[in-house]
Structure 1
Amino acid sequence: MDREMQNSSLYISRGPEGSESGGIISKNLDDDGRPKRTGTWITASAHIITAVIGSGVLSLAWAIAQLGWVVGPLVLVVFSFITFFTSTLLADSYRSPDPITGNRNYTYMDAVRANLGGRKVQLCGLAQYVNLIGITVGYTITASISMVAVRRSNCFHKHGHAVKCQTSNNPYMIIFACIQIMLSQIPNFHKLSWLSILAAVMSFAYASIGLGLSLAKVIGGAHARTSLTGVTVGVDVSAQQKVWRTFQALGDIAFAYAYSTVLIEIQDTLKSSPPENKAMKRASFVGILTTTTFYILCGCLGYAAFGNDAPGNFLTGFGFYEPFVLIDIANVCIAIHLIGAYQVFCQPIFSFVESRCHRRWPDSKFITSEHAINIPFYGVYYLNLFRLVWRTLYVIVTAVLAMILPFFNDFLALLGAISFWPLTVYFPVEMYMARTKMPKFSFRWTSLKMLSWACLAVSLVSAAGSVEGLIQALKTYKPFKAQQ
């Protein structure tokens, strides 16, 4: 269908010079025959911030507590540099063979196919889409936890902290799914900028509240026990626990920066002037600099406030149920942010399935037909029945999985561990070396290989830590149990 659109647009654009129809259509189409892209480095930065600053920022105090004052902040900075460097390599892969004038690659798989080919395309697709599906399920769980936290904080405020205030996550997962069913009808990434900007604002809001509460706790005279090396063996944890928690903390920090799964899709929203790769590199710099600043502040101030006893979520940790109004606002902001982040990560899945179905059944009216609906205060919306049915089913399935597996975040950490190295480091590096025809065993080739192997080691140890956490979660697994 896209190819037919491209051919027809090229045919029309060859009309007589000054022709009204040819002029109007050529102005509204890009060089590939698709509707003109209007994204800028600002909207791309919003997409990146929405994808990167997830609810994981709330667990950074715990991660810093495992690593200590020296290694913790250092790891944050190192991974920010690694992510920015590999994102610049990936940005140059959007067009092939030339990064400025070459043909567009609409997805990560397309970029791998154009630069590497072979079985690596299937491996890339497997890593990318399994990770994206896992993230959407994990976000369903995390958003419901934030919604539940609002109800629990009000319950604690009214009845005191001694009350259990049991609340099931399931009704809130259903509410989240209903919202996503409506938002999933946004046709594509190009129409998602407003939602990403809103989500980015929400992420700043709840991170700022967390910073303020941590700072207030420190200024208020709280003397939490901290150390240069983090939790102390024999006092806080056993030697075995120290090792596993260190692995998990490294994984949490590494995966907190990963947005490579949607980088090419974000770049495909950018207008072609200035060149997409230059705008994307600027957006990556702004996005990663912003997120790193918040990560360091939240992680370090959270550790200073709670010390070696830092909870997994420092907004709902002990002592932060008051002032309950701020806690409510912060958790509402988290939920709104995750509503937008869910869409950022599921749009590539929607695009992949729908493009495959369009190519497989090009004559099916159920799949290809668009029905114009005039919506008040919006304008004309083009409804596609296949898009409505399949996206609704996808959201329902992710919600059901979240209800059945409330500890799915452990699975998500494992999926992230497996996908971090190939998607964030390996494929960008390999595509760069293939595109530049880099000589083997040259200094640059050796340096990039060493970087790739080091990140592979981090993925492996993080996966080991995630498996250990999953085993522990399974020991106490009780499906559909209300939160204590």
Structure 2
Amino acid sequence: MDAVVPINEDNFYFEDEDDRSAEQRAIDDWLPIPSARTAKWWSSAFHNITAIIGAGVLGLPYAMSQLGWGPGVTVLVLSWIVTLYSLWQMVEMHETDRGKRFDRYHELGQHAFGEKLGLWIVIPMQLGVQVAIDIVYMVTGGQSLKKVHELLCHAPCKNIKLSYFIMIFASAHFALSQLPDFNSISGVSLAAAIMSVCYSAIAWGASIHKGVQPDVQYGYKSDTTVGTVFNFFSSLGTVAFAYSGHNVVMEIQASMPSSRDKPSKVPMWRGVIVAYTVVAICYFPVGIIGYWIFGNTVQENILITLQKPKWLIAMANMFVVVHLIGTYQVIVTNLSVFFSCPYSMSSSPLQSIIAHSICMQIYAMPVYDFIETGLVKKLKFRRSWYLRFVSRNTYVAFTMFMAITFPFFNGLLGFFGGFALAPTTYYLPCIIWLVLKKPRKLSLSWFANWFCIMFGVVLTVVAPMGGLREIIMKAKSYKFYE
């Protein structure tokens, strides 16, 4: 951790000296999230675009078909406002007025709730988010590759199972997982951001080209009240999943320099505004136009629904693949110092090994950083290529296995959107803001934060129920591993 030193009488601090030992600096530089702070505002823009826009946008038309016009548009717009507000809070809280910086989400949680409680509040949530996103991206990448194959392969072309395409998609991550750090994936992240804008534009553009279907229906698809209600709940989670970038915000801002005259929040917020403008340009047309064109016949993935022009839809699905490859690696770069916290390791050697083994299976570069920090700093493993090779490939194999086992796109979006993503995106920043900033009771800030908290808690409660029901219903007729 960088040293904090006073620079004048008013006790404002900033980090400009390094009292770490040579060995400690070497370890920190080797880890996936390096200590260098050289990023610019445009890095914030494309990293946030890559982290936020992903598989969720492809499920928005289907979510609209389950929500209906009024609730659907309301939830879509309200989520954009609420998550932009909570993201602004995180940008503001990244750095105290004395210059102390919180480079990771859980460090901010520890500052608000205490060293031990803050760690155990935030870390499980972050673990859930990272695993959830990476599993869903495995499924989506496999679906997109399968769609490309179906569009471009002519008879007598053999029908290849989705499981094999998921494995093909995972093969790219076995290679890319060996990239050393966050900075080394900047080019991948930029390409992924461009791809996300392109396939979103193709999705709504090709829908308009197809035109409103002659027999389009906008009523709810389910024939029963119970089915309609649970589908509604699941779709709330799908929308929540679409706004999934908060989990790496602190790490993105940590890569930026900061001083008293030019605090890191200025370029970071500029990049966030650009990113959320792009999010609005992608999300609203895809969700609204996709539902307008296809009504309740739209499939879970809008790019799977579209068929023509073949070359354009195939290209859009390849854009999805490129984007998800980049996003998987960006999402895989953040929870590093969990093991360096004094409360993170179990008291007994056996418990430490068990806890470490579990963590090895559920993370990616935040996850890779998380694993490698524990291996090198706590368990004293020697830094080496084979340590990185084994630990990272283990995680990629785990997410691939889960995606092959449960390839239920919309059910996963609904379940994980409420259970994992809503807490860290919709209301945890608001709770931390209330604890640290202590806005006056009944003030606008107080009301705004409590509204976001209540909205987010509702999503956390109802969305997993809808998503889990959908997974169970589909699993009844699904033949696993066949």
In which range does the TM-score fall when normalised by the shorter chain? 0.7 to 0.9
Shift of 1:109: 0.8
SS in 1 for 2:407: coil
Q: Please name the residue that 2:124 is paired with.
A: 126
Structure 1 residues 409, 213: closer, same or farther in 2, change over 3 A? closer
Runs of 5+ in structure 1 lacking a partner? 14-24, 370-383
One-letter amino acid of the structure 2 residue matched with residue 336 of structure 1 = V
Q: How does 1:85-164 map to 2 (within 5 A)?
A: 85-95=85-95, 97-98=96-97, 101-117=98-114, 118-155=116-153, 158-159=154-155
Q: Normalising to structure 2: TM-score of the pair?
A: 0.81
Tell me how far apart the structure 1 counterparts of residues 237 and 291 of structure 2 sit (CA, whole Å): 18
SS in 1 for 2:214: coil
User: Does the Cα contact within 8 Å between 2:216 and 2:293 map onto a contact in 1?
Assistant: no
Q: How does 1:367-382 map to 2 (within 5 A)?
A: 368=383
SS in 2 for 1:103: coil
Of 176, 179, 201, which residue of structure 2 is paired with 1:183?
A: 176
SS in 2 for 1:322: coil
Structure 1 residues 344, 144: closer, same or farther in 2, change over 3 A? same
Matched, 1:352 2:370: yes
Tell me how far apart the structure 2 counterparts of residues 284 and 256 of structure 1 sit (CA, whole Å): 16
Matched, 1:75 2:71: no
Tell me how far apart the structure 2 counterparts of residues 56 and 411 of structure 1 sit (CA, whole Å): 10
Shift of 1:359: 2.2
Q: Please name the residue that 1:213 is paired with.
A: 206
Q: Please name the residue that 1:22 is paired with.
A: none
User: Does the Cα contact within 8 Å between 2:163 and 2:481 map onto a contact in 1?
Assistant: yes
One-letter amino acid of the structure 1 residue matched with residue 45 of structure 2 = S
Structure 1 residues 231, 322: closer, same or farther in 2, change over 3 A? same
One-letter amino acid of the structure 2 residue matched with residue 53 of structure 1 = I
Q: Please name the residue that 2:362 is paired with.
A: none
Moved more, 421-430 or 130-139: 421-430
User: Does the Cα contact within 8 Å between 2:427 and 2:452 map onto a contact in 1?
Assistant: no
Structure 1 residues 341, 349: closer, same or farther in 2, change over 3 A? same
User: Does the Cα contact within 8 Å between 2:230 and 2:469 map onto a contact in 1?
Assistant: yes
Moved more, 63-72 or 322-331: 63-72
User: Does the Cα contact within 8 Å between 1:189 and 1:269 map onto a contact in 2?
Assistant: no
Of 238, 260, 265, which residue of structure 1 is paired with 2:224?
A: 238
Runs of 5+ in structure 2 lacking a partner? 4-14, 333-364
Tell me how far apart the structure 1 counterparts of residues 304 and 481 of structure 2 sit (CA, whole Å): 21
Q: Please name the residue that 1:374 is paired with.
A: none
Q: How does 1:23-34 map to 2 (within 5 A)?
A: none
One-letter amino acid of the structure 2 residue matched with residue 223 of structure 1 = P
Structure 1 residues 422, 410: closer, same or farther in 2, change over 3 A? same
Moved more, 40-49 or 418-427: 418-427
Shift of 1:343: 0.5
Tell me how far apart the structure 1 counterparts of residues 290 and 224 of structure 2 sit (CA, whole Å): 23
Matched, 1:54 2:45: no
One-letter amino acid of the structure 1 residue matched with residue 130 of structure 2 = L
Shift of 1:411: 4.4
Moved more, 176-185 or 401-410: 401-410
Shift of 1:443: 5.7
Tell me how far apart the structure 2 counterparts of residues 245 and 107 of structure 1 sit (CA, whole Å): 35
Q: Normalising to structure 1: TM-score of the pair?
A: 0.81
Tell me how far apart the structure 1 counterparts of residues 263 and 434 of structure 2 sit (CA, whole Å): 21
Q: Please name the residue that 2:343 is paired with.
A: none
Matched, 1:250 2:236: yes
One-letter amino acid of the structure 2 residue matched with residue 280 of structure 1 = M
Structure 1 residues 408, 69: closer, same or farther in 2, change over 3 A? closer
Structure 1 residues 292, 129: closer, same or farther in 2, change over 3 A? same
SS in 2 for 1:445: helix
Q: Please name the residue that 1:65 is paired with.
A: 65
User: Does the Cα contact within 8 Å between 2:241 and 2:422 map onto a contact in 1?
Assistant: no
User: Does the Cα contact within 8 Å between 1:421 and 1:452 map onto a contact in 2?
Assistant: no
Structure 1 residues 180, 142: closer, same or farther in 2, change over 3 A? same
Displacement over 4 Å in runs of 4+: 6-13, 439-443
Q: Please name the residue that 1:473 is paired with.
A: 474
Matched, 1:285 2:273: yes
Q: Please name the residue that 1:302 is paired with.
A: 290
Tell me how far apart the structure 1 counterparts of residues 45 and 195 of structure 2 sit (CA, whole Å): 14
Q: Please name the residue that 2:390 is paired with.
A: 389
SS in 1 for 2:439: coil
Shift of 1:74: 2.3
Structure 1 residues 421, 299: closer, same or farther in 2, change over 3 A? closer
Tell me how far apart the structure 1 counterparts of residues 21 and 241 of structure 2 sit (CA, whole Å): 46
Tell me how far apart the structure 2 counterparts of residues 457 and 152 of structure 1 sit (CA, whole Å): 40
Q: Please name the residue that 2:214 is paired with.
A: 223
Shift of 1:426: 2.9
Structure 1 residues 11, 330: closer, same or farther in 2, change over 3 A? closer
Structure 1 residues 407, 300: closer, same or farther in 2, change over 3 A? closer
Tell me how far apart the structure 2 counterparts of residues 164 and 238 of structure 1 sit (CA, whole Å): 39
Matched, 1:270 2:256: yes
Shift of 1:272: 2.4
1:283-307: per-residue Cα shift (whole Å, max 9, x none)? Answer: 2222122112211111121112212
User: Does the Cα contact within 8 Å between 2:132 and 2:420 map onto a contact in 1?
Assistant: no
Shift of 1:460: 1.1
- CA-based RMSD of the aligned residues comes to 2.9
Structure 1 residues 354, 413: closer, same or farther in 2, change over 3 A? farther
SS in 2 for 1:315: helix
Tell me how far apart the structure 2 counterparts of residues 257 and 7 of structure 1 sit (CA, whole Å): 34
Q: Please name the residue that 1:425 is paired with.
A: 426
Tell me how far apart the structure 2 counterparts of residues 475 and 437 of structure 1 sit (CA, whole Å): 50
Shift of 1:339: 0.4
SS in 1 for 2:303: coil
Structure 1 residues 243, 103: closer, same or farther in 2, change over 3 A? same
User: Does the Cα contact within 8 Å between 2:112 and 2:118 map onto a contact in 1?
Assistant: no
Shift of 1:408: 7.2
Matched, 1:260 2:246: yes
Shift of 1:196: 0.9
Shift of 1:440: 5.2
**Structure number, greater radius of gyration:** 1
Size of the aligned set, in residue pairs, is 428
One-letter amino acid of the structure 2 residue matched with residue 386 of structure 1 = L
Tell me how far apart the structure 2 counterparts of residues 170 and 350 of structure 1 sit (CA, whole Å): 25
One-letter amino acid of the structure 2 residue matched with residue 343 of structure 1 = Q
